[in-house]
Every structure is written in C-alpha cells, then in structure tokens.
Amino acid sequence: MSNSNCAIHVLGLGPVGLATSWDLLNRGLSVFGVDTSRQQLNRILKNDLNIDLSLLSDISSFIEKKKFTLSESLADYSVQNHYYIVCVGTPTNVEGINLDSIKKAIHDIQSHNAVNKHIIIRSTLQPGILNALKPLFKDHTLFSYYPEFLREKDIKDDVLNPPLSIATHLNHISQTSFDKIFPKIESSIDQFTELEALKVLSNAFHALKVSYANEIFRLGEVFNFNSHFVMKAFVSDKKLNISELYLKPGEPFAGHCLEKDLKALETITRHHNLKLPVIASIIQSNDFHKAHLMQKK
C-alpha cells in the first residue's frame, strides 16, 4: 500500500521506534518520527546511536529522501487517516512501571488535530495496564496493541524475521485498519492482558534460560564436566528439552524421577557450598503449586 491517504506517526525513536520506522520505510511507506527529546533527534541525525550501523545508515538515507521526517511534536498533515505507533520507554518504578511517557503520548495524540485516529502501542507493558488505560481512548479512536519482541543486538534480523508477530485490537474496525499497514500479522480481538503477559513472560523465560545455563556452567566447574558439551547435547533434544512439552500451565510435576534427581542435585550442591538458586527453588515452587491447588478444592 502507499500512504497517500494516511499519515503514519511513530512516537518515541529509541531502538524500537527506529526499527518500526525502518520496517515501514523499507516497505515504501513514509513515516513522521516524533521524539520529545531534541538530544535523541540530534543523535539520529548524526548517526550517533549504539544500534546496528547499517540500519542507521538506511535511516539516514530515508531522511535525505524526505521519506522519514523527524520532529519534537506531532505536526498537522491534511490526510484522512492517521496512524500513531507508540514506542516510548516504559521504565520500572516502585509501583511496577512508569506510565508517564505512554500517558503523555496518548494525550498528545488525542489533542492532535486529526479526525480518523488509530493508536498502535508497541511499548512493553505489564498485564492489566491497557484495560486500565481504556478510558483514555476516546470513542472514535481505533486501538491496537502490537508488542515488539526484537533483540537490540540483532535488531535488523529480528525486524525481518521476528521471533513473534502478534497483535490484538479493540474491535474488528481496528483490526482491518491495522492490516493495511501491518499485513499478515496474527491477530485477535480484545486480548490486551494476554499479550501484555506474553511479552513480559517471554522476557522472564529468556532470563530464566540464561540463568539455568549459567548454573550448569558453575556446576560443571565444581564437578569437572564440560558444560558447553552438555548444553549442546541438551538443546539437541527437541522432543523433551526444547519443545512444547512441560510448558502447559495447570498441573504440578509428579512421578518419582524428577523429584528424586532434583533432591540429589540439591544435596550435592549444598555439600560443595555451591549456590544454584534457580535449580534449588524448583521443588519449592512445585510444592507451592500443589498447596495452591489443594486450597482451591
């Protein structure tokens, strides 16, 4: 599609906003990039950012060709439909997440002088936030959540081959409008909390995998085995280890072997004064779950 009858605004030009813009620009669309930080806009103009250099150089050439316009605030464009893709930061605070930037972006969009508005949020949020923010979306606003799953260090590859592309929408009109600029993305209606959970739980799982592999590394140092050899064989098991198995929420693990081997691991690591908190907490987590299910009966 061309955007002769629509304007695409990307709000927040950190790695996610730039990657989103790059994707749209590469597909022949023009983008109006908005970042409230003049410093950030100058960094983009000077190619002075710590992200993939070839992506930055593509961005520069789109700026030169006037396909990508940079501004500190939303400007007026006389077109019929306006997309606002929100990629602002969502840092954590004592209450969980600081929503100031998201709220300001939504406020700026609602005050923008345009008729047909579609807000698409790409920032990472915690479960329940979008439902709580729903009153901020005025009646005539289309709305979608399309979380970003890219890794900063493989930004270009992850935009071209995303690990996960999934979106949810306020209603069918929002879905149809979304498909015009992001075709072929798996979609659903009103599963905001599920997608918020999916994004943060994916990150938690990636962190869990790294921590588990590192506990195996430390175990290898003490018991004198090559952890790289072990993990190479471990990930080659696509039936049980790297598969959908054992990832269904609901039932606790049962059977003799899992508990017996975990207890043995716990004992030998204790004898060697080795700290493996991820492995050491597995039985406790399973016991909590059993007690929780009993309580519900």
Ligand X SMILES: NC(=O)c1ccc[n+]([C@@H]2O[C@H](COP(=O)([O-])OP(=O)(O)OC[C@H]3O[C@@H](n4cnc5c(N)ncnc54)[C@H](O)[C@@H]3O)[C@@H](O)[C@H]2O)c1
Q: By the criterion CB under 6 A, which residues form the site for ligand X?
A: 11-17, 34-37, 40, 87-90, 101, 104-105, 123-124, 148, 150-152
- The distance of closest approach from Cβ of residue 35 to ligand X in the complex, given in angstroms and rounded to an integer, is 4
- Residue 269 contacts residue 279 (beta carbons within 8 Å): yes
- The distance of closest approach from Cβ of residue 274 to ligand X in the complex, given in angstroms and rounded to an integer, is 33
Residues 6+ away with beta carbon under 8 Å from 114: 7, 76, 77, 82
- Distance between CA 216 and CA 279 in Å, rounded? 9
- Distance between CA 118 and CA 290 in Å, rounded? 45
- Residue 68 contacts residue 33 (beta carbons within 8 Å): yes
AA identity, residue 126 = Q
- The distance of closest approach from Cβ of residue 254 to ligand X in the complex, given in angstroms and rounded to an integer, is 36
- The distance of closest approach from Cβ of residue 179 to ligand X in the complex, given in angstroms and rounded to an integer, is 22
107/138 with CB nearer ligand X: 107
Tally of CB atoms within 10 A around 97: 15
152/157 with CB nearer ligand X: 152
36/286 with CB nearer ligand X: 36
88/181 with CB nearer ligand X: 88
Tally the C-alpha atoms within 13 A of residue 85's C-alpha that lie toward its C-beta.
Answer: 27
**Strand 141-145 relative to strand 166-169, pairing:** antiparallel
The answer to whether the Cα torsion of 231, 234, 235, 240 is positive or negative is negative
AA identity, residue 257 = C
**Strand 31-34 relative to strand 68-71, pairing:** parallel
Residue nearest to ligand X (CB): 14
Tally of CB atoms within 10 A around 246: 9
Token pair for 11:
């709000």
- The distance of closest approach from Cβ of residue 18 to ligand X in the complex, given in angstroms and rounded to an integer, is 7
Q: At 30, give phi and psi (nearest 5°).
A: -95, 150
- The distance of closest approach from Cβ of residue 116 to ligand X in the complex, given in angstroms and rounded to an integer, is 21
63/230 with CB nearer ligand X: 63
26/42 with CB nearer ligand X: 42
- The distance of closest approach from Cβ of residue 112 to ligand X in the complex, given in angstroms and rounded to an integer, is 12
42/176 with CB nearer ligand X: 42
